[in-house]
Chains A and B, each alone.
Chain A
Amino acid sequence: MARRPSLIPGPNINYASAGAAKAQASASLGAALDRMSGFVFKEAADRAAVAGAQYGFDKPITVEQIEDAMREDRDIDEIVGDQTTIFGSASRATIGQKLQAQLEAESRSKIAVIQGAISAGQPVDLDSVRSTLNGLMDGNSSVLAEIDPKLASQYRATVSTVAASTFKLATEQVFKAQKREALAIYDSGKIILPDNIGSLLASETEENFYAQEAVLRRSHMDLAFTTGDATTVKSAPTDFDTAKSQAATGLLVELAREDVNAVDERNGNFGEKSWIWNSLSSAEKADVTSRIRTIRDDDYTIKERTEKEAEDNVKERVVFLVSSLSVMPQGDPSRRALEIELSAFHAAGLVPAASYKGALDGRLPPSNSTELADAKLKVADGTLISNAALSKYLEDKNINDADKASLYNALLAKKSQLYNVALGVIRPLVDADPAVSSGRKPLVTARLAIQAVEKASGIDMDVAQVARETVADQLVSQLQASAQKAIERLNTDVKGWSEGGFESLSVENFSNIAALEARIAEIKNTDFYRGAGRDGQVNIDRHLSSLLRAYKQLYELGAAGAAQ
């Protein structure tokens, strides 16, 4: 039997590989296209970045536009560009940098104005400065944060550095002003302290005084502490003690001035106020004794002058009696009393015979017209300024009592005129003098005015000029006393000063301010000064400053140095 043909296996065609090859070709093409599009997109992105930056630079965006958009709850992408795109991001960055620079410049300018005002000493309200500076930082940085938080942080960092220094300056100025104010209050308190202590000394018993003095001292120390000034706090106890000493010695001297015979400084007897004397140091007692001695001397002089004035008054009264009676009709009812008074003076030998006769019969001898004219001239020009001087001048002159009376009247008018001129000059000067307590100002003014009028009449000078000189003399005396006191304080307060070889430190020994300043600088360069310690140096500095201040004023007044 023939063998039947068998089936052969089917052809093995790989369609998958063919498809894969075709797909590979398309994929390669796609990859090439991807690379191209990637390149083109990168190019587009680079161009968009440049265009965005240019757009941001050219577009005039203001802070107000951003603020308006924020207020109206609009998206600021509409103004500065969308930050999620390359173009918007670039434009936003440029606009942000522009605004940052603009806001920084504006803020710096505003802060500079504030700083200028503070430096110029304008009053500073710290809260106002703080809120202004915070406003500049917070307001502007919130606008910038809308554009780019990083720029806002940079702006805030830059402005806060400037603002911090401004705020520091403001704070310093406020503290300085507070310190100045506290020091001014302290100084005011220091000036009136002698008056306050004096009032207590005058009105209180010893026991009450010490209780109230403690209160006053605490209050004074509290004032010193509020200044925050170490030197003031350190000197406050001394200031108080000085004021107390001044008040105590002043009160005792005042008691003596009221009635010098009611006090006995040799035995320390000041009546109810003897306890004050007992509380004084030996130096203070010596001071009081010396000043009361001057009062006693003045008192003696015053007595003498009073007696002389009484005698002159009698002479003047006689003149007026004679003058009045000589022209009074015989039947006048008041004539009798005047005649009795004149008779009494006549009996005492105080009425010349011719005057007595003329008064009774109405026929006074005629005056020498030349001598009368001279006398009138001397009264008018101020040569004869006191009743005593006029009385003395008239003693050997042939001038009858009626004319003498008219001369006295003219003198009275002249004195009043000159006294008013002197008062006009002296009163403002005395009022401005802090060394004279307010209670004593009228007395001192009147005394100086009288002195000026009398001095002017004696040396034939303009009374206003003399009044100024009188006040200047008074000031010079005070300054000299102040300088002397500073030197004494150096001797008493600074340990070892008197042994230190500084005895030449006296206002008389220096020809000008520079010489004294050089000497002070020399002293501050000595081992003694360096070894005095901090407290010692503060003491020395204070007293040397007082001395220099007094010397400068004396020098300017021509009362010290080569100008003296």
Chain B
Amino acid sequence: MAALVPIALSAVGGAGASAAVGLGLSALSAYSSMRAGRAQAVGLARQSAMEQVQARGAALQYRQAAVDRLKQLNAQQGALVARAGAGGLDPFSGSYKQLSQMAEREAAIDYRILQDNAIISREGGSIQSGLLLDQANRAKRSGLYKAGATLGQAGMTYRKIGGPPKGDE
């Protein structure tokens, strides 16, 4: 019996070495999986920040447009007063007054819409950013899980190959 043990060990030695190499390669593969997950997560996190920046920019643009609309109203009122004065008419009564009031109403509506757009743009960017952050976290976890699975499968395969009974090892 004792004479057989070396024979068995040498025979299994080949299989054992191969299995160990396989196990090492699987560990590297697991590391790659982790890295892939992490890289994807970093990209997504950055994209999330970018989305927030872009949303804020868009909100500012809407705020500027709102201000410009008020400026445009002032210009319209000034033009009406000037035109009434030139014609010797009272700019604060009659049809001039009605035109002035209509311009004010239109400008107020536009101003509120532009204010709302700014809010929508900012909040939409914030939501999109949050989603991307979630994706980043998932990608990271997925990389970790895949690495774990790879290592687990390698371990099971290593065990599946097996060797001589304990007493003969």
Contacts and interface: CB of A to CB of B under 8 A. Distances in A.
Q: Do A and B bind each other?
A: yes
Nearest to A87: B162
Given A16-B43, A16-B44, A86-B162, A40 B22 contact: yes
B59 to A, nearest CB: 10
Given A7-B64, A14-B47, A40 B40 contact: no
Interface in B7-32: 7-8, 11-12, 14-16, 18-19, 21-26, 28-30, 32
Contacts of B18: 40-41, 43-44, 47
B35 interface: yes
B44 A87 contact: no
B150 A15 contact: no
Interface string A357-392: 000000000000000000000000000000000000
A9 B158 CA distance: 57
A44 B25 contact: no
A15 B43 contact: yes
Interface string A27-46: 10111011011101101110
B139 interface: yes
B165 A82 contact: yes
A530 B148 CA distance: 94
A12 B165 CA distance: 64
A19 B164 contact: no
B15 A44 contact: yes
Given A30-B36, A33-B26, A33-B32, A87 B64 contact: no
B12 to A, nearest CB: 5
A352 interface: no
Contact of A26 (B32, B60, B157): B32
A81 B57 contact: no
Contacts of B32: 26-27, 29-30, 33
Given A16-B43, A16-B47, A54-B11, A34 B54 contact: no
A88 to B, nearest CB: 5
Contacts of A51: 8, 11-12, 14-15
Nearest to B26: A37
A55 B157 CA distance: 21
Contact of B44 (A13, A15, A33, A37): A15
Contacts of B154: 37, 41
A50 B40 CA distance: 44
Interface string B131-153: 01001000100010010001000
Contacts of A562: none
Contact of B162 (A16, A19, A37, A88): A88
A6 interface: yes
Interface residues of A, number: 54
A79 B165 contact: yes
A51 B6 CA distance: 12
Contacts of A33: 25-26, 28-29, 32
A52 B43 CA distance: 50
Interface in A132-178: none
A19 B16 CA distance: 38
Given A27-B36, A37-B26, A15 B15 contact: no
Most buried by B among A44, A58, A82, A85: A44
Interface in A519-538: none
Nearest to B36: A26
B151 to A, nearest CB: 11
Given A6-B64, A60-B1, A81 B165 contact: yes
Contacts of B15: 44-45, 47-48, 51, 87
Contacts of B14: 47, 51
B152 to A, nearest CB: 13
A84 interface: yes
Nearest to B150: A34
A12 B26 contact: no
A24 interface: yes
> Which 4 residue pairs across A and B have the least CB separation, nearest first?
A19-B43, A85-B162, A26-B36, A30-B32
14 contacts: A7-B57, A7-B60, A10-B56, A16-B135, A19-B42, A19-B139, A22-B42, A30-B150, A40-B25, A48-B162, A54-B7, A55-B4, A81-B164, A85-B162
Given A55-B164, A58-B7, 10 more contacts: A7-B61, A9-B61, A13-B50, A22-B39, A25-B36, A31-B29, A37-B23, A47-B12, A48-B12, A85-B163
